[in-house]
Amino acid sequence: MAQKCGVYRVDRVVVRKAEREMLLLSGESVVRRYRVALGRNPAGHKEREGDGRTPEGRYTIDWRNPASKYHRSLHVSYPNDADRERARAAGVDPGGDIMIHGLKAGVEHPSDWTQGCIAVTDAEMDEIWELVADGVGVEIVA
């Protein structure tokens, strides 16, 4: 596995919604595996703002928030062009602000509780924060 500064260079994040798991990959090798909580209505692709679904597709980590109200967070680049076109055709707002983040007070992991985000424990989020750089690809599959 490729290493950078003593840690693995994660070059891809894969979220498997049905399995409620997130994999951090270096090449084809799994560096870390986490149980995740998803949107409160996780089945199917996110269609519009407020539907409680976690999107499915290919995205990137495009910015981070060290002071998120959910500990720390990495922003997933949803909606992409296809998501915006699908929402436009349906006459709805596709939503946005999809993050990989820690937990909120009073929520126990791994129940599905987010508005469409991907949640892990705060300790796991600290590890992900260090391992996943901006620009890393994110693939979210059913």
Give the separation between CA 119 and CA 73, rounded to whole angstroms.
Answer: 9
Model confidence, pTM: 0.90
Q: Quick one: average pLDDT of 97-103?
A: 94
State how beta strands 12-16 and 21-26 pair.
antiparallel
The token duo for 13 is 């994040």
Spans of all domains in the chain? 37-134
Fold of the domain spanning 37-134:
L,D-transpeptidase catalytic domain-like (2.40.440)
| Each residue's pLDDT tens digit, 57-93 | 999 999 999 999 999 999 999 999 999 999 999 999 9
Identify which of 54, 47, 68, 40 has the alpha carbon closest to the alpha carbon of residue 138.
54
- What is residue 4's predicted lDDT score, i.e. its pLDDT? 47
Q: CB of 132 within 8 A of CB of 9?
A: no
